[in-house]
Structure 1
Amino acid sequence: MPTQQNERGVPFALAHDFQHFRLLELPPDLVQLLEAPNPPQLSIKSLPPPASDTPGAQPAYAVLCTPSKTFQIRQVQTSNSVFVTQPTLHAHGNHIPSPTTCAIAACTATLELHPVDLSAVAYLQDALPVYDIIAGEVDATHNAKSKAAVFSDIPLSNRQCEQAWTELVAFESSACSYRPSVDTLRQVWSSINAAALAEGMKLDSQFLGYDLAELVREEGYPASLAQAIFAHLAAAGQDTSGQWSCLDRKKVVSFVGRTLLQAKQGSAAYPVADFVDEWKDSLPEAWRGDADLKAIDGAYDSPTTTTIVAHANPAPATPESVVPKATAAKGKWHERFAKTRNK
């Protein structure tokens, strides 16, 4: 019924049946995004803890995902009387209907958006099968999912998923998505380094990444995995979506050292001198002097003063199926590399 009827008042009425509304408070940067000429598509998902997370992980909650950010949706109770209204015509008795403000819903809580700065690594580790190469044969589980399909199932922004994808050196191959095992990374890096040496490519200068990846493919490894390694080790400011690549020397030295050491995980302690020699041999010739344990600080333990082991990491799950692969064929550049090494 109207609560005010005098000439100076504002006629106000309450609907008999309230509708269900939720008020959503948008942060300024999201409002700006939605007001853009071509606003992006938004999605609301549930964010459960990843299966690989430790006990006591944060419980599930709803998130709103934009291409670049993820926001947690929180419900905040309010003690104020908040009504959702709409204009209507109200007739009182025999009087002519007059414009009235009618409350059609009461909101006792407000939904707020708070930025969520989480890593998608754990979610990708759950979603991507391990790609392992053993004696020239690929051992991996088909997931029949593209990168885009994997991202669509992760309740975080595309930017967060892309960062995790690069961190894990994930790649697509034969309409599936994978993350490589440490030993596979070791093998593919060896192929990259050998091909670059044979072709005279300087990895810390601009080089045609597509061409180098194609040489790696000739050795039987996925070119997309080589390109994923280029993206993982890219120099600051390098556009990783184009044909050209340029690697960060410090990143490469640390990556190679850690990869070699982790690939030996489970074996007996490794003599430091032998490990450093292998590390040097796995780097471009001009970078051999950079192989110093300081470059992998925090990634190893020293059982004795002369031995080294990698920090223990959980072993990957055993693949459910095997993807057959022919033994890698040696390309012509491989012969040129051997001649170069023998000089």
Structure 2
Amino acid sequence: MSMGKVDPASIHTTVLLHEVIEWLKPTPGGRYMDGTLGMGGHSLALMQAADGKAELLGLDRDQTALGHATARLEEFADRTHLFHLPFSRFEEALDELGWEGIDGAVLDLGVSSMQLDEADRGFSFINDGPLDMRMNPEHGQSAADLVNTLKHGDLARIIRTWGEDPLAGKIASAILRAREKEAITRTLQLAEIVRLAYPPKMRHAARNHPATRTFQGLRIAVNRETEELEYYLKTIVDRLNPGARLAIISFHSLEDRAVKHSFRDAAKGCKCPSHQLHCTCDGVPAVKVLTKKPLIPSEEEMQVNSRSRSAKLRVCEKLTADGEEV
């Protein structure tokens, strides 16, 4: 079956859909942004919850996903504005539309099932394909470029920091030995190298495939996901209207920690150095954190969609210039 005939709803199950809508509370006349449009699940629910009378800005750097989302949102075409951009560049889209602020935003940092399951995209260590992993295949270095050119220390750092694999050094050494014999160009080729780098006892005791963390680390590095999120978190609050809510779904501890700390800092207001005993900056809180602890999928959702198990949702609300709730 060609990708053009695939029903997007059958490819990807939207994570924490009901929770996102309940917290964002979209209303007619509001302006909302989906920074990771994907297959359009959150966006479609946002528009439906607002009786189709809101305006939506959707961004995605994956052109294939953007095409599916366009079709899925066709009934709201006159009120949706879709851009082929990474979410970190959302201000370009806002400025082009002439929107100074928005009334709500959602960010789903997960990789879509379509990307994971389509072997040619190179995200999967289960199905063989070219070792790519780029969200936008027309831009940047691929995973193959990294594993075949990086020095041992840089490769180990990626696997340790972003893949959170304690065997990063052994895995990097195994990759360097393998690439001396032949270039590493296929996903299953890399997956097998990583699998064999694990000691037999750890290999057999592992709950997930040994290559899971290495592939995660490489994907984050290839798509500069950490830099994308850091820039977004620094800039998004200023473009939220008072009372607007921001919902972010993360899938690993590094992302969740970044979101947690960003929300916490924005809610403090004070920008004085931590060693200073008394506040002299007269700063006021920019947001109120609505989720003291991250929300996780229900048992029912996790049974239906196993890929939702690591999802965590955090939500904050923009305050007025005086630091008050609307």
TM-score over 0.5 (shorter chain): no
Larger Rg, first or second structure (1 or 2): 1
Provide the TM-score with structure 1 as the length reference: 0.22
